[in-house]
């Protein structure tokens, strides 16, 4: 009868434990799935933020390209290609397929436009014209990011013939800002790949209006950028977004006909049970449209992880069940161990109970013979239940092999320290740091004393810090500027992807731990960079927007803008420097080009009227202090006769040659400008007396004596010059008026001479 009870009781314990483990399997799976969705929600929010930033860069690139064309009356294909190359848009923007320019071509003027375009692109023809239109918008300049031949195959196609594109172009012209199209198949693409284009209007320079002082210039055409929708979402962040989520994107509203992208081809957003899988939804503005993004957790991934969690709980439950069954069966042995425990308690009871760590003792077969209350709390079981139980029953299965090796070392008399995961009764697996100390009687180890510290919170904090650092790295890797940071010795501690690409490095390990002088491209400037770093770190004040020229990897010169700020620790102490650099060559080129177009005459290359007025005001201010200023106003004698007789092309050649001869006889400090037509002005400073102007005037008259040879025609050209010498209380306006009047005095005197304002007699005239 006694033997029957010994068999029946362990069986009952095993059956009850198995039932509890099965229940834990399903509860653990549900809990795991809920935790995964919560984690995915935060990740999806971060991706939505990065996508919004990336699409703003798309729109910004379109605006910049539109400004580039609006600022110029003529841009050739080479300038367009150089601009696209300098802006590095294909490197910075995933999904970007092409950028291009569509001029507005009136239907009546199509023949002339085709003939002009054929000079640059032989065989150019406008094709696919929009029926009944009074103007077409054919592709003229274009650069394709992955297929250079595609731009050539599409060149001349009228983009307004595609309804989605024509609608966006009309809206962009009305709003005068970038507008995106609805998704539609790529033009002349065999696979009908879905694309979205952003159109920006290109207008002529603005002119004043009587109503409000400003008016939009006339529409010259459009610039556009095109993006492959599938490449944008599947390739974003090297495909990590596509691996984590099923992404669905709708254009404007949640309707099947507005579906823009679906990564798995099954639209969950239009199903009734969509909320069970939805991780996050976001609205993202895209060039006057709104994209609705839905991030869905991948069910297969959730199921596999949930099953793993449930299986883990089941395994733990079964293991504990077996341990309990074994414990019931081994009760007699437990009684004998109790006696050993009492003896051990008498010796070490005070030490065990008051130690801040979990403390336990195990025999040579790794069975508990003692444990303090903290150890029982760590394992989630009663202390009495631990005595006689095998220690490995509370160790994760994958860590048991390492535990066996550590125990062998302890039995050899060594003290061992390691980290493992314990399995609590409630299914949780805390991380613990364990120290095992061999206890000896004479020369033999009799039992082992263990100290366990729960380090779960510390490891979670380390993991959270690691994930935070990864997210920060992800963000800075997706901005176009180069970012890096150094320690107090100017040794690189990190950098983003843009910096590695710029430096030609394969990985971050080739950057960290090195200095500027270790890189050939920066070796000559390393000491200067170090001094700037020291200044920022010592002063605690950043140095912003420092601009300097540099050389790219291919040897071409570029402009770099750098900002550096001090890095501080939690106590506010400076521990390094953070720098952001950006290639601003394209912006510099744009600024220089805009300045040239605003201040210089396109025919002669001389300063124009606006630039002259600014220079004259400054010259008058200087003359009020030290004098020595003269203004010469002159034109080409009988220029109207030259234009009427020989045509405007010859007239333009005469103006250019006239300006060149005048420049050849002037001093380096003299300022000459063309006011318009054949009228010119000269500002001469640093003169000692009014008579010095006669020397300059005579040189200018003499410079015109040799005949002008223009296209096989020989012309005799002369000039009439009016000179006004600055006197006290004169303004720029009165100085110009005096010089202008003196020029007309020279005209009345027979031309081909100069006259000084307020002087009756002049030097001898030239015939």
Quote the Cα angle for 614-615-618, to 5°.
Answer: 90
Indicate the Cα dihedral angle 399, 402, 408, 412, nearest 10°: -120
Please report how many Cα atoms fall inside a 13 Å half-sphere around the Cα of residue 441, on the Cβ side. Answer: 3
- φ/ψ of 259, rounded to 5, equals -65, 120
Sign for the CA dihedral angle at 717, 722, 723, 726 comes to: negative
Is residue 147 annotated as part of the catalytic site, yes or no? no
Give the integer Cα–Cα distance in Å for 70 and 550. 29
Q: What is the DSSP secondary-structure string of 664-692?
A: HHS-TT-EEEEEETTEEEEEE-S-SSTTH
If one counts every other C-beta atom within 10 angstroms of the C-beta of residue 291, the result is 22
The CA distance from 666 to 721, in Å, is: 14
**DSSP 8-state code for residue 136:** E
**Alpha carbons 634 and 613: distance in angstroms, whole number:** 16
Q: Are strands 245-251 and 557-568 parallel, antiparallel or unpaired?
A: unpaired
Q: For CA atoms 741, 747, 752, 755, give the dihedral sign.
A: negative
Gyration radius of the chain's alpha carbons: 42
Q: What distance, in Å, lies between the first and last C-alpha atoms of the chain? A: 149
224 closest CA partner among 172, 261, 184, 148? 172
Residue among 53, 62, 52 at smallest CA distance from 177:
62
Tell me how crowded residue 470 is: count the other CB atoms within 10 A of its CB: 10
The CA distances from residue 682 to 45, 238, 574, 606, 635, in Å, are: 64, 62, 57, 11, 11
Count of CB atoms situated within 10 Å of the CB of 676: 9
User: Which residue in 139, 62, 157 sits closest to 102, CA to CA?
Assistant: 139
Residues with Cβ within 8 Å of 71's Cβ and at least 6 positions away in sequence, in order, are 205, 590, 593, 594, 597
Contact 434, 395 (CB under 8 A): no
Cα separation, 613 vs 30, whole angstroms: 79
d(CA 241, CA 275): 20
Are 446 and 460 in contact by the 8 Å Cβ rule? The answer is no
Three-state SS sequence of 477-539: HCCCCEEEEEECCCCEEEECHHHHHHHCCCCHHHCCCCCHHHCHHHHHHHHHHHHHHHHHHHH
Cβ atoms within 10 Å of 135's Cβ, excluding its own: 17
User: CA-CA-CA-CA torsion for 82, 85, 88, 90, nearest 10 degrees?
Assistant: 130
> Which residues in 364-413 belong to E strands, given as ranges?
368-371
Q: Which of 212, 678, 740, 767 is catalytic?
A: 678
Q: Answer yes or no: are the C-beta atoms of 682 and 743 closer than 8 Å.
A: no
Residue 35 near residue 204, CB atoms below 8 Å: no
Q: At a CB cut-off of 8 Å and minimum separation 6, what does 414 contact?
A: 438
Going from the C-alpha of 369 to that of each of 363, 439, 448, 545, the distances in angstroms are: 7, 13, 10, 70
Q: Name the nearest CA neighbour of 279 among 573, 32, 48.
A: 48
**Residues catalogued as catalytic:** 678
């Amino acid at each position: 009868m006694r033997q029957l009870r010994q068999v029946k009781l362990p069986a009952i314990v095993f059956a009850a434990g198995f039932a509890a483990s099965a229940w834990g399997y399903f509860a653990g799976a549900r809990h795991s799935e809920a935790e995964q969705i919560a984690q995915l929600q935060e990740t999806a929010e971060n991706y939505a933020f990065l996508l919004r930033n990336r699409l703003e860069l798309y729109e910004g690139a379109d605006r910049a390209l539109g400004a580039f064309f609006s600022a110029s009356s003529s841009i050739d294909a080479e300038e367009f290609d150089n601009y696209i190359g300098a802006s590095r848009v294909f490197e910075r923007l995933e999904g970007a397929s092409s950028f291009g320019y569509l001029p507005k071509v009136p239907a009546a003027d199509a023949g002339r436009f085709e003939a002009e375009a054929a000079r640059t692109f032989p065989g150019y023809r406008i094709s696919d014209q929009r029926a009944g239109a009074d103007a077409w918008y054919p592709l003229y300049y274009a650069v394709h990011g992955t297929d250079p031949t595609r731009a050539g195959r599409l060149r001349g196609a009228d983009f307004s013939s595609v309804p989605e594109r024509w609608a966006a172009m009309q809206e962009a012209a009305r709003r005068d800002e970038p507008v995106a199209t609805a998704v539609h198949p790529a033009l002349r693409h065999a696979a009908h790949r879905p694309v979205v284009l952003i159109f920006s209007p290109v207008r002529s320079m603005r002119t004043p209006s009587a109503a409000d002082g400003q008016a939009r210039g006339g529409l010259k055409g459009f610039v556009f950028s095109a993006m492959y929708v599938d490449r944008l979402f599947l390739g974003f962040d090297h495909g990590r977004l596509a691996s984590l989520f099923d992404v669905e994107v709708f254009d404007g509203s949640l309707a099947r006909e507005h579906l823009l992208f679906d990564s798995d081809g099954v639209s969950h957003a239009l199903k009734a049970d969509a909320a069970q899988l939805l991780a996050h939804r976001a609205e993202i503005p895209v060039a006057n449209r709104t994209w609705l993004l839905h991030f869905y957790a991948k069910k297969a991934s959730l199921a596999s992880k949930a099953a793993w969690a449930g299986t883990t709980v089941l395994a733990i439950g079964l293991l504990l069940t077996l341990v309990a069954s074994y414990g019931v069966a081994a009760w007699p042995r437990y009684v004998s161990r109790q006696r050993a425990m009492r003896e051990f308690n008498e010796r070490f009871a005070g030490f065990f109970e008051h130690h801040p760590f979990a403390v336990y003792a195990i025999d040579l077969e790794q069975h508990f013979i003692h444990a303090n209350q903290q150890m029982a709390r760590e394992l989630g079981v009663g202390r009495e239940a631990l005595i006689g139980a095998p220690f490995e029953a509370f160790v994760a299965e994958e860590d048991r092999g390492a535990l066996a090796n550590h125990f062998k070392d302890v039995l050899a008399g060594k003290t061992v320290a390691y980290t493992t995961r314990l399995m609590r009764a409630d299914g949780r697996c805390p991380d613990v740091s364990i120290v095992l100390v061999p206890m000896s009687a004479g020369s033999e180890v009799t039992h082992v004393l263990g100290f366990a510290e729960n380090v779960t919170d510390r490891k979670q904090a380390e993991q959270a810090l690691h994930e935070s650092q990864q997210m920060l790295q992800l963000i800075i890797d997706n901005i176009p500027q180069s970012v890096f940071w150094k320690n107090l010795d100017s040794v690189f501690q990190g950098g983003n992807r843009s910096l590695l690409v710029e430096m030609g490095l394969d990985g971050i390990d080739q950057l960290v731990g090195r200095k500027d002088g270790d890189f050939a491209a920066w070796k000559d400037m390393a000491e200067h960079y170090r001094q700037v770093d020291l200044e920022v770190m010592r002063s605690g004040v950043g140095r912003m927007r420092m601009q300097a020229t540099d050389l790219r990897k291919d040897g071409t010169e570029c402009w770099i803008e750098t900002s550096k700020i001090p890095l501080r620790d939690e106590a506010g102490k400076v521990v390094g420097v953070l720098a952001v650099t950006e290639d601003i060559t394209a912006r510099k080129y744009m600024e220089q080009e805009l300045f040239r177009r605003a201040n210089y005459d396109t025919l002669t290359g001389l300063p124009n009227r606006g630039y002259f007025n600014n220079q004259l005001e400054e010259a008058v201010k200087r003359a009020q202090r030290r004098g020595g200023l003269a203004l010469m106003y002159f034109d080409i004698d009988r220029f109207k006769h030259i234009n009427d007789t020989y045509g405007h092309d010859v007239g333009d050649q005469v103006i250019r040659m006239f300006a060149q001869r005048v420049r050849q006889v002037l001093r380096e400090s003299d300022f000459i400008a063309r006011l318009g037509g054949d009228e010119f002005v000269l500002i001469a400073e640093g003169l000692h007396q009014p008579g010095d102007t006669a020397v300059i005037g005579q040189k200018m008259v003499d410079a015109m004596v040799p005949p002008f040879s223009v296209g096989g025609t020989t012309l005799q050209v002369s000039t009439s010059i009016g000179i006004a010498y600055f006197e006290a209380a004169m303004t720029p306006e009165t100085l110009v008026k005096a010089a202008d009047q003196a020029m007309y005095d020279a005209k009345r005197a027979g031309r081909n001479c100069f006259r000084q304002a307020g002087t009756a007699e002049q030097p001898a005239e030239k015939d």
